[in-house]
Chains A and B, each alone.
Chain A
Amino acid sequence: MNAMTKEDTRTLIADVLEAYPEKSRKKRAKHLSVYEEGKSDCGVKSNIKSIPGVMTVRGCSYAGSKGVVWGPIKDMLHISHGPVGCGQYSWSQRRNYATGTTGVDNFVTMQVTSDFQEKDVVFGGDKKLDKIIDELATLFPLSRGISVQSECPIGLIGDDIEAVSRRKAKEVGKTVVPVRCEGFRGVSQSLGHHIANDTVRDWVLEKAKVDFKDTPYDVAIIGDYNIGGDAWSSRILIEEMGLRVIAQWSGDGSLAEMEKTPKAKLNLLHCYRSMNYISRYMEEKHGIPWLEYNFFGPTQIAASLRKIASHFDDTIKEGAERVIAKYQPMVDAIIAKYRPRLEGKTVMLYVGGLRPRHTVDAYGDIGMQAVGMGYEFAHNDDYQRTTHYLKDGTLIFDDASEYELEKFVQALKPDLVGSGIKEKYVFQKMGVPFRQMHSWDYSGPYHGYDGFAIFARDMDMAVNSPVWSLIKAPWKQG
């Protein structure tokens, strides 16, 4: 167990900041904090430009739009519009599982790009985009639509992708969505989420004509990207409690589901950070309430099932209790198996805009405590939504640099670090167990009761792997 006092942690922050040049030190000081119980936020500034040269972990708007929000919509083709790299590096990397036949009615694991050349930058890419949409219509007749995911050059060379999209949508008779998610816009992935949400509003929901017979129990799952099947292991619980899921956004999602969503009676929002915008829009425009739920670990799953049920009648409330009771024996068995192996272990979390707070109680369910956590691209409202998950004295870091993470791990000595692929090998080299908490380290699902079993197994296999006893050469031990 971490024995650092709050004062020790403050000293640690000061020591880490010492390495920065003065100007950057002042800027970074606002992003590092020690959580004080009872405060309304975490005491850090957020959603501010990253400092150049510090090795931020953050990505860009394109990653937030193509990689997160739009990419998983399976029956549309998503054009990475610009040079080849962005689409190449994000190709099949988020593990958004989706059913269907790849290249026929499912396009999630394809890298479709306009592969900009110098002449496209010089003369503009609109003509090329026009031709691309025709070619895609020929080669993929069963696709339901196209999105144009702008890479950096598009916004710099004055292309009018909106005009092209409007024209081509009429010509090919399909939805065409231009997305201005150039990587230089905003300070992180986060603006890309927002831009993508706005394009769903303007180019899908406001244009859709839906003929659909709704029921009083219709809900939509918003902000679940079905990583390793997360949305499925969530949906199963929501259906079991008696609700009807009419749409998944956007993991294993389809254009038709998106279009139906304004018919939902309640929007269930998992990733608040990336999809609160469209949820708020549907609340204002269609009067659909939304709630943020948390399907990590039995404590939060049960609370969320009850919170969801509270919006419906007694049949659903009974349904929630039935679901909780049904899975309790399995949950008990998982906890009996893994908790003794993990009790009192500590974890440090550094993930996107949601998971640190959402997973902290799941770690608690298996006996582990978070001693440090931070977000890559959270906003102030995320930090406010984080406080009630936190223990007094937790180290908080916003948009941490790799330097800071390394120093924090050296000082806090957590038994496990949860972060991304760029961090994984740094900490494993140091002998610290690690799990990727973006991709579930190629495992998952982690959502729902079925996912919790996998989560508990994975954390145990990371923390208690025999490999960690082999780190030191025997002739160097002692």
Chain B
Amino acid sequence: MPQSADLVKDHTRLFQEPEYQALLARKSEFECGHPAEEVARVAEWTKSWDYREKNFAREAVVINPAKACQPLGAVFAAAGFEKTLSFVHGSQGCVAYYRSHLSRHFKEPTSAVSSSMTEDAAVFGGLANLTEGLANAYALYKPGMIAVSTTCMAEVIGDDLFAFIKQSKDKGAVPQDFDVPFAHTPAFVGSHTTGYDNMIKGVLHHFWEGKQRTAGDSINIISGFDGYSVGNLRELKRMLDLMGVSYTILSDTSDVFDTPTDGHYRMYDGGTTLEATRAALNASATLSLQTACTAKTLPWIAEKGQATRSFNYPLGVGATDEFLMAVSALTGKAIPEALEKERGRLVDAIADSAAYLHGKRFALFGDPDQAIGLTRFLLEVGAEPVHILATNGDKHWAARVGTILADSPYGKGGKAWAGKDLWHLRSLLATEPVDFLIGSSYGKYLERDCKVPLIRVGFPIFDRHHHHRSPVFGYQGGINLLVKILDKILDEADRESIANDGISFDLTR
């Protein structure tokens, strides 16, 4: 009997029991599977150069991509505005997916509604659904703003949000002066970073278009789609406060995805106030922390007369330096000694640990700007980024990574892979192995198949908890990231030494 009340075994142990092993053996007789030798032969072949060539010859199928679709980014972007409810126009299943996806990462509730379009709306268009949906959402959830985006269904049939929202308001679905910004977010164009861009632009367009700008000395920050937004935005605000800068974070999700458990559910908490969003037109400048997340928004803001700067995820020493110096230059505020000391502490930590990082070979995947930030950081600590992959990266991204690699002696063996997926990465890891892999939870299949230890950084992180609460931005974030990388390196060193009869099982490292 495998189970007992004294020690209840769940799936992690139960199926290792002999009764279940025998069951699985009996079951396999009915599966008509391939002989074990054949499975082993093919498994080996999938790790060969021959397979790699066939795998990279793919033109049509995408396998294990590291990207999601536009509306996810739009829902995330909209969540960062005060009392804002996302309304995704189209099929309802999509919204269930976005909510689940974000909740699995943040371990937080995610609110969004759908216009629940079905076959009849596919024929007649979704105006009636939008009108009814806006009225219901407004009545039930009492939002301060409803941000409308679209699923691919609504895009394919060509629903026009501008016209539909106007008509819905005319029918009294929501008050005429109620804020309903929108963005068309076709899932068959770009990725979640594109959707983020479109929604931020949609919100700003709603509040800024046709308004007179009176230039002030505040700055705006758009941080981009970011699984670390809770920790990162708080760290960012702390740094800017230390500098005494006046700023507005456009889409501040830090409190939205980090509400307390105190007996009271907050459907809305935190977020950039609508007043601040409106006033952000008057900022002297807008800084984007992820270039790919503001490809349309930033040029549009520049047209409004603001200075703009964009970064590739300010992570590590050099990228944080550049960001702070840019803020300083734009605002005239000096970088305070407190931040300079923090910088010194990160450099101190790198110096202390450099010997364990030096020459270690890494593969990494993630959103384009995060991948750039991580690449730069690895080069700073003397590690060697070898395979750098962004499924939603383009040729400009690849060129940028190429330049960064070329600037460092540690980047000589590295290559950027734009538009490739994690099945491509599997071939890369199998044929040109590295010591460590950095990426989201999806990387765990690569860790298993290619025996490469995974350091979880990115989005989504489903299988480890609370990483999003600690920043990876800034000098402090750099220390967090350094510790995370070192822990894995040193754990591996211990594991290997145990396997090697305990030789080099050192107490002090």
Contacts and interface: CB of A to CB of B under 8 A. Distances in A.
A110 B422 CA distance: 10
B97 A59 contact: yes
Contacts of A79: 61
A53 B264 contact: no
A116 B130 CA distance: 25
Nearest to A220: B30
A187 interface: yes
B36 to A, nearest CB: 10
Nearest to B4: A330
B60 A132 contact: yes
B111 A246 contact: no
Given A84-B68, A118-B186, A453-B3, A60 B63 contact: no
A424 B265 CA distance: 11
Contacts of B188: 82-83, 116-118, 120-121, 153
Contacts of B68: 84-85, 88-89
Nearest to B260: A429
Given A183-B91, A228-B11, A53 B133 contact: yes
Contacts of B3: 330, 449-450, 453
B109 A156 contact: no
B153 A184 contact: yes
Contact of B116 (A49, A129, A189): A49
Contact of A53 (B91, B97, B136): B136
A56 B28 contact: no
Interface string B11-45: 10011000110011011101111100011001100
A189 to B, nearest CB: 8
B445 A254 contact: no
A239 B19 CA distance: 11
A420 B246 CA distance: 42
Interface in A431-478: 431, 443-445, 449-450, 453-454, 456-457, 467, 471-473
A88 B69 CA distance: 8
B61 A53 contact: no
Interface residues of B, number: 110
Contact of A86 (B11, B27, B97, B117): B97
B94 A229 contact: no
B448 to A, nearest CB: 8
B113 A136 contact: no
Interface stretch (A166-174, A230-238, A278-286, A302-310): A230-238
A21 B33 contact: no
B403 interface: no
Contact of A89 (B8, B101, B119, B260): B101
A79 to B, nearest CB: 7
A181 to B, nearest CB: 10
A128 B60 contact: yes
A248 B99 CA distance: 31
Contact of B33 (A75, A186, A453): A75
B39 A105 contact: yes
B200 interface: no
A135 B156 CA distance: 27
A142 B101 CA distance: 31
B211 interface: no
Interface stretch (A197-205, A290-298, A400-408): A400-408
Contact of B30 (A84, A90, A257): A257
Contacts of A189: 93
Interface string B415-447: 000000001001000000000000000100100
A272 interface: no
Interface stretch (A5-13, A311-319, A333-341, A360-368): A333-341
A424 B103 contact: yes
Given A85-B72, A113-B62, A135-B61, A157 B110 contact: no
A97 B11 contact: yes
B116 A245 contact: no
A139 B27 contact: no
A144 to B, nearest CB: 8
Nearest to A51: B136
Interface string B94-125: 10111111011001111111111111011000
Interface in A1-60: 19-21, 23-24, 49-60
A23 B132 CA distance: 9
A21 B151 contact: no
Most chain B CB neighbours (cut-off 10 Å) among A91, A421, A449: A421
B109 A88 contact: no
A55 B24 contact: no
Interface stretch (B51-59, B212-220, B226-234, B329-337): B51-59
Given A75-B31, A89-B100, A235-B27, A52 B62 contact: no
B83 interface: no
A52 B262 contact: no
B328 interface: no
Nearest to B43: A104
18 contacts: A50-B114, A63-B93, A82-B188, A85-B97, A88-B68, A104-B43, A112-B63, A113-B62, A155-B122, A247-B30, A327-B1, A330-B4, A422-B100, A429-B264, A430-B265, A444-B11, A454-B10, A467-B261
Given A21-B136, A102-B449, A431-B261, 8 more contacts: A51-B132, A55-B141, A56-B114, A118-B188, A118-B189, A121-B156, A184-B91, A254-B33
Interface of A: 19-21, 23-24, 49-63, 75, 79, 82-86, 88-91, 93, 97, 99-105, 109-118, 120-121, 128-129, 131-132, 135-136, 138-139, 141-142, 151-153, 155-157, 183-187, 189, 228-229, 232-233, 235-236, 239, 245-248, 252, 254, 256-257, 260, 326-327, 330, 333-334, 336-337, 401-403, 406, 420-422, 424-431, 443-445, 449-450, 453-454, 456-457, 467, 471-473
Top 3 A-B pairs ranked by shortest CB distance?
A: A60-B93, A53-B133, A85-B69
